[in-house]
Amino acid sequence: MVNGVRSRVNTDPERPLLWVLRNELDLTGAKYGCGEGQCGACTVLIDGVAHRSCLTPVGSVTGKEITTIEGLADGERLHPLQQAFVECDAMQCGYCTPGMIMQSAGLLRRDPSPSEAEIRGELEGNICRCGTQNRIVSAVQKAAHTMGAMAKGERHA
Amino acid sequence: MPETVLGVPETSAARLDRRGFLKSIGGGLVVLFALESDASAQESGSAGRAAGQKLPENVAAWLHISPDGTIEVYTGKVEVGQNIRTSLTQAVADELRCSPTTVHLVMGDTARTPWDMGTFGSRTTPTMAPELRRMAATARETMIEQAGKTWAVDRSRLKVENNCVCDSSSNKKASFGDLAAKINWVNVIGKADYVTPPTEWQVAGKSLPKINAKDIVSGKHKFPSDLKVPGMLYGRVLRPPSFGAKLVSADTTAASKIPGVFVVRDGDFVGVAATDEGKAQKAVLSIDAKWETQPQISARELFPYIKKGAESTGPKTTGDGHALSATYTVAYIAHVPLEPRAAVAKFDDDKLTVWTGTQRPFGVRGELASALGMGEDRVRVIMPDTGSGYGGKHNGECAVEAAKLAKGTGKPVKLIWTREEEFTWAYLRPAGVIDVSSSANPDGALKSWNYHNYMSGPSGLPTPYDVAEKNEQFHPVKSPLREGSYRGLASTANHFARESHMDELAAAAGVDPLAFRLKNLKNERLTAVLKAATDRFGWGKEKPTSTRGFGLACGAEKGGYVACCAEVSIGSGRQLRVERVVSAWECGAIVNPEHLKSQVEGAIVMGLGGALFEAIDFANGRILNGRLSQYRVPRFSDVPQIDLVLIDRKDIPSAGAGETPIVGIAPAIANAIFGSTGLRIRSMPILPAFRAM
């Protein structure tokens, strides 16, 4: 399942998930940056956990649920992380942004209210060459806050 | 779908006759493109026309308002994350008194935009923004005039708002689209008279968020490496084992036997293109190539080589006050744009279109034309907003390779350089050696300044300090590695040497580093940022200890003035962390405060890498650390708290801010280490030397 859609690809099981997503499924949100799991630009969620798709053989994700940046928003409504990245201007060129958001999405699923240190620790493996790290941390904090408030609202409703 | 992204038709600009004839297109503006004066150069197919050539004077070359009111703006500048798509939109919206959401910028498309030298040197804000303002302001005034004529009213009664010209006394209103359709734009020349001064800006001067941020956060934006055209193949190129190696033979039999693989040879160029990226990789690895290599120098021999390669620098200064001589070095570093070079090349009959991430689309058009033996008029280069450049994407090698593969296979080809290729076959910020000898009078006034930069470059070389006796020179040396532009060029190296040396001289004279600088500075703008940064930082309030140091540096270049203060902590085993940075920045009138902050923050973080740990290691024509697991760039744990003071000078035309904010961080760190430990580090990167001391 990719972004909620059942997807069948006939290919070498050793082929990295990144290239199957990009070249076979036309989901180019996950980016190539290094091919060795060092930059995080290719990050996607596999069963809700952030993974480097450049190091994930496609054969290993059969039957699993994959979420890419394209599948994060609810239709036209941006995910709180996406919204917060826009509001905090947490990007310059934007090439690392999908990976940053997916890594953060994995974190917030695990821990809805991480500390600043935990956010920095989580994103240590994601590179932003433009130097927006502090803005990204603010954006993740902001999104965590929004999602917390939303969850609270839902509980009260 | 990606196909539709690529299906943008050429505008009338491209269809216009190259001699500069005009053709009218339905209802809207006529787009004037090539001028008579540059037509021959354009037709010659040469790699690049002369810098500073005359740009079109006609509004129509830069701006097009359709009958439906769509405002299209054409600029050869490109977006690599510096947010000029946003700032230039603000400039146009300001002049047209309209919402920025109604302005669409077409950037870096050689078939649609006026010729441009390239996006570098912090030139967009000081040159392109005024150009587009001039054109948009003239368009606005022309439409007001048209409305006045139509309604037979005095133009002073007319106002522009919400993409319309309005007469408030008669409640008459005409849209931009309607008015533009009635105007013969052919002879409308852009005039500077109508441009709005910074004190009256409505759209600029405010923090408009990144124009296409939503596309980026949702993964919709197509970077060059994301593009796909029907029938496209994926390319790979055979690389030599070392720089300068000559191909003796290449056996491609195994590669050609893989189904779906095409092999392309063109002299020393050997590449493959395949139906998927995996096959292409397999194919290129299967090629049995023999190379003739040549011995080359290694990283450890670099600095002696640089000094040996340069001419003598003459006598050193002697002073009767405090005299000092010192040598500083900087290593080669890589840009490491997170998106490596990428290109999609496609032939349609005898016309070539290449989508690629480059800071010089028109230059790359020339490179393609000469590499493929075509006229420039048959080559179109399109630059989608790209995953960063930092001065590292000037050239078109990747585009040329993709085009050769497309030509050889007869199919469109995408080529994305691997990270290792990006490290190895792009170019580097030059290394260098800088010798400084200086003296100061007993009262702390600078007396003499002898400054010699070998190989790293002349940018930011002249001292901003007031000194009567000075000798400042750049000595070019043939670089053993491929070198090129980088954010701020040699300004980082020159500021590292100068601001470190100023600190050393201050210490020798027994004067506080801030007081020493202020005493020797006459430049008011530089003094202002220095005072602003040190005030915010609380300079001198806390004394350094063996585990905590404070340092400062300042500098100016390209119309920007920066001061930077750094606080470092030093743990056991020489563990160093930059804890806090305060930087003050002034570059005239602020165009977009939040994006300006972003540029300054980004420059500090990028500068931190070159300051502390980035260095290319090489031996015998090979890069030894060309992977992200081996070459360290700043990560979240490296990034300090950054506090900025922006000074807005509405009385001074805006300068660019992409580069100069980078220059202060390295010397500020070195000076902070000295403040804490008394150890003087004279090399960039700082950490290896610090740990070895």
Q: Which CATH class is domain B490-692?
A: alpha beta
Distance from CA of B674 to the nearest CA of A (A): 26
**Residue B322: per-residue pLDDT:** 84
Provide the domain limits for residue A95: 80-156
Rounded to a whole number of angstroms, the CA Rg of chain A reads 15
- The residue among A148, A34, A35, A143 whose CA lies nearest residue A90 is A143
Average pLDDT over residues B383-412: 98
Q: How many residues does chain B have?
A: 693
Query: What is the β-pairing status of strands B446-454 and B469-475?
Result: parallel
Give B224-293+341-416's CATH code, choosing from 3.90.1150.10, 3.40.50.2300, 3.90.45.10, 3.30.365.10.
Answer: 3.30.365.10
Chain A residues with CB under 8 Å of B634 CB are: 131, 133
**With contact defined as beta carbons under 8 Å apart, do B436 and B498 qualify?**
yes
Average pLDDT over residues B293-320: 79
Q: Give the confidence band of B37 by pLDDT, cuts at 50, 70, 90.
A: very low
Whether residue A54 sits in one domain with residue A96: no
Question: Per the domain annotation, does A46 fall within a domain?
Answer: yes
Q: Give the confidence band of B320 by pLDDT, cuts at 50, 70, 90.
A: low
In sequence order, what are the residues at sequence separation of 6 or more whose Cβ sits closer than 8 angstroms to the Cβ of residue B441?
A: B319, B321, B447
Q: Domain spans of chain B?
A: 2-202, 224-293+341-416, 490-692
Q: Give the confidence band of A152 by pLDDT, cuts at 50, 70, 90.
A: confident
Q: Select the residue from A19, A115, A130, A138 to test the B interface by mutation, using most B Cβ atoms within 10 A.
A: A130
pLDDT at B214 over 60: yes
Whether residue A110 sits in one domain with residue A65: no
**Encoded amino acid at B643, one letter:** D
Compare CB distances from B594 to A81, A89, A130 and report the shortest one's residue. Answer: A89
Rounded alpha-carbon distances, angstroms, from residue A142 to A41, A91, A116, B602: 22, 15, 11, 21
pLDDT digits (tens, 9 = 90+) for B256-274: 999 999 999 999 999 999 9
Give B2-202's CATH code, choosing from 3.20.20.150, 3.40.50.410, 2.60.40.10, 3.30.365.10.
Answer: 3.30.365.10
**Taking CB atoms and an 8 Å limit, are A120 and B234 in contact across chains?**
no
Mean pLDDT of all residues in chain B?
Answer: 91
Q: Is the dihedral of CA A72, A74, A76, A78 positive or negative?
A: negative
Average pLDDT over residues B428-435: 98
**With contact defined as beta carbons under 8 Å apart, do B583 and B600 qualify?**
yes
Classified as helix, coil or strand, B258 is coil
Q: Give the confidence band of B186 by pLDDT, cuts at 50, 70, 90.
A: confident
Find the range with the poorest average confidence among A60-69, A117-126, B51-60, B569-578.
Answer: B51-60
**Residue A88: per-residue pLDDT:** 97
Whether residue A145 sits in one domain with residue A109: yes
Token duo for residue B74? 């054409």
Partners of residue A9 on adjacent β-strands: none
**Residue B168: per-residue pLDDT:** 87
Q: Which residue of B has its CA nearest to A81?
A: B217
Chain A residues with CB under 8 Å of B595 CB are: 89
**With contact defined as beta carbons under 8 Å apart, do A100 and A126 qualify?**
yes
Query: What is the β-pairing status of strands B233-237 and B413-416?
Result: parallel
Q: ipTM of the assembly?
A: 0.98
Question: Per the domain annotation, does A130 fall within a domain?
Answer: yes
Token duo for residue B249? 């033979």
pLDDT digits (tens, 9 = 90+) for B79-136: 999 999 999 999 999 999 999 999 999 999 999 999 999 999 999 999 999 999 999 9
Whether residue A98 sits in one domain with residue A55: no
Compare CB distances from B635 to A11, A81, A124 and report the shortest one's residue. Answer: A124
**Residue A48: per-residue pLDDT:** 97
Q: Count the neighbouring beta carbons within 10 Å of the beta carbon of residue B101.
A: 10
Helices (H) and strands (E) counted in chain A, each on its own, are 5, 3
Whether residue A126 sits in one domain with residue A89: yes
According to DSSP, residue A106 is labeled: H
**With contact defined as beta carbons under 8 Å apart, do B381 and B371 qualify?**
no
pLDDT at B36 over 50: no
**Taking CB atoms and an 8 Å limit, are A95 and B339 in contact across chains?**
yes
Task: Name the strands in the sheet holding A49-52, side by side, starting at the edge strand that comes first in the sequence.
Answer: A49-52, A43-46, A66-67
Average pLDDT over residues B571-594: 97
Asked which of A28, A48, A71 is the last residue of a domain, the reply is A71
- The residue among B259, B287, B258, B257 whose CA lies nearest residue B271 is B287
Average pLDDT over residues B682-687: 98
Report the alpha-carbon distance of residue B367 to residue B345 in Å, rounded: 14
Q: Which residue of A has its CA nearest to B601?
A: A131
Token duo for residue B466? 């007031």
Question: Per the domain annotation, does A132 fall within a domain?
Answer: yes
Report the alpha-carbon distance of residue B552 to residue B506 in Å, rounded: 12
The CATH number assigned to the domain holding A124 equals: 1.10.150.120
**With contact defined as beta carbons under 8 Å apart, do B87 and B204 qualify?**
yes
What percent of chain A is predicted at pLDDT more than 90? 96
Question: Per the domain annotation, does A10 fall within a domain?
Answer: no
Q: Give the confidence band of B310 by pLDDT, cuts at 50, 70, 90.
A: confident
Question: Per the domain annotation, does A109 fall within a domain?
Answer: yes
Report the alpha-carbon distance of residue B177 to residue B27 in Å, rounded: 9
**Taking CB atoms and an 8 Å limit, are B629 and A36 in contact across chains?**
yes
Question: Per the domain annotation, does A136 fall within a domain?
Answer: yes
Q: What's the structural domain count of chain A? A: 2
Token duo for residue B45? 């197919």
Q: Which residue of B has its CA nearest to A79?
A: B218
Report the alpha-carbon distance of residue B654 to residue B659 in Å, rounded: 14
